[in-house]
């Protein structure tokens, strides 16, 4: 067993998790993570405290600059054109956070591409009433934006997500003497403890069988069984159009490489990373890197065709984000704005930061499509 020292936390959440363990016995790490993040009353995402942005725990691309929304808008406009400019083009965003990307994208379309804005409708899929209220304040009045607790059906347009899949609860596993074991979380009366047990579901071993690989001996790793289910649901809901996924991750061979001894689970509290998920319960975020091999394959099973996978830095550069780096033109005295935009561009394409986010583009019912953002991407 591995012991972990306690720290400041949401005591109501801690007590709820402990009660479950005491009544049911040790729980799979996936269930622990789900309660820590998504408990309806006390989970991290149910908390009213600021989570995203420079004042929160972590920074996502839309919070850096409206330039991100502009670049995504350019790509969506090109997708609309690839669909031969339909009269109705629906954008469905899942995991919209504060609503910043929605706001910036809709504003850009109305200002620069009015014909696209006329065709555009935007749906945010969100189950949290607190987040819906926050998003409404961010988006403001007048935009053609609606909210839904469930994924719509028969979508013609684009399903969009930014750093959604890496927040799904994951199983944690370890390979011991060549055998797959799963990490369970128990309670010893004073602290959470880990123990290795046979997998709680046959889905874990089937997952690696499909990949044809295992993590290395003695390695820990994460298994996101929800991600393939999610992309299959997305593929089923899309009648015609595109899926645009931004997230941290790797192909399976790299994600589960034998040199990756401790997996990729990370926690974030006020922009400080930690590998300990048992402290600051309800106060820190938890994420793990996405297996894009399994995500892509599951999408193909649902009728999606993969068009490309590439780093965000390459995607944004191909779409022209470097234009914001140009010096102010003659007569332009707003140097402060210029330097702010320059800093934002460098942050968004930083290969050691946000620029290493991967962008996966998939399509359904679209033939012979060439997208600017995918120039040089691996198909």
Residues 6+ apart with CB under 8 A from 304: 231, 234, 235, 238, 243, 362, 363, 364
Q: How deeply is 34 buried, as exposed, middle or buried, from its count of CB atoms within 10 A (0-12, 13-18, 19+)? A: middle
Give the pLDDT of residue 169: 98
Give the pLDDT of residue 340: 86
pTM over 0.95: no
Give the pLDDT of residue 251: 98
**Dihedral sign, CA of 202, 207, 209, 214?**
negative
Residue pair 287/166 in contact by the 8 Å Cβ criterion: yes
- Residues of the chain scoring pLDDT < 50: 1-7
Residue pair 14/285 in contact by the 8 Å Cβ criterion: no
Give the pLDDT of residue 338: 83
Give the pLDDT of residue 52: 59
Give the pLDDT of residue 266: 94
Paired with 173 in beta bridges are: 182, 221
Alpha-carbon gap, residue 107 to 109, rounded angstroms: 5
Residue pair 16/35 in contact by the 8 Å Cβ criterion: yes
Residue pair 70/324 in contact by the 8 Å Cβ criterion: no
Give the pLDDT of residue 48: 62
Residues 6+ apart with CB under 8 A from 72: 101, 105, 160, 244
Domains assigned to the chain = 2-374 (3.40.50.12710)
């Amino acid at each position: 067993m591995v012991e972990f020292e306690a720290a400041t936390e949401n005591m109501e959440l801690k007590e709820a998790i402990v009660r479950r363990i005491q009544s049911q016995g040790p729980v799979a790490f996936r269930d622990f993570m789900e309660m820590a993040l998504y408990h309806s009353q006390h989970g991290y995402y149910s908390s009213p405290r600021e989570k995203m942005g420079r004042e929160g725990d972590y920074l996502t691309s839309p919070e850096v600059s409206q330039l991100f929304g502009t670049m995504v808008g350019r790509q969506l406009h090109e997708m609309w054109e690839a669909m031969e400019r339909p009269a109705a083009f629906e954008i469905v965003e899942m995991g919209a956070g504060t609503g910043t990307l929605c706001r910036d994208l809709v504003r850009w379309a109305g200002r620069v591409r009015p014909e696209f804005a006329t065709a555009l409708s935007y749906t945010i899929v969100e189950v949290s009433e607190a987040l819906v209220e926050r998003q409404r304040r961010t988006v403001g009045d007048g935009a053609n934006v609606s909210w839904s607790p469930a994924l719509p059906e028969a979508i013609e347009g684009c399903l969009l997500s930014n750093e959604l899949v890496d927040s799904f609860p994951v199983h944690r596993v370890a390979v011991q003497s060549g055998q797959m074991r799963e990490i369970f979380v128990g309670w010893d009366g004073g602290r959470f403890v880990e123990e290795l047990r046979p997998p709680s579901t046959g889905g874990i071993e089937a997952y690696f069988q499909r990949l044809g690989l295992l993590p290395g001996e003695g390695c820990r790793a994460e298994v996101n069984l929800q991600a393939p289910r999610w992309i299959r649901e997305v593929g089923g809901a899309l009648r015609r159009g595109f899926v645009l996924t931004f997230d941290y991750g790797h192909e399976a061979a790299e994600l589960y490489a034998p040199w990756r001894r401790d997996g990729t689970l990370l926690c974030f509290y006020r922009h400080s990373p930690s590998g300990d998920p048992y402290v600051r319960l309800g106060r820190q975020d938890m994420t793990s890197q996405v297996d894009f091999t399994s995500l892509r394959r599951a999408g193909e099973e649902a009728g999606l065709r993969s068009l490309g996978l590439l780093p965000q830095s390459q995607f944004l550069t191909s779409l022209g984000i470097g234009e914001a780096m140009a010096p102010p033109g003659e007569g332009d005295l707003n140097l402060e704005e210029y330097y702010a935009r320059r800093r934002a561009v460098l942050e968004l394409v930083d290969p050691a930061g946000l620029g290493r986010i991967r962008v996966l583009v998939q399509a359904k019912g679209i033939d012979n499509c060439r997208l600017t953002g995918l120039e040089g991407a691996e198909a």
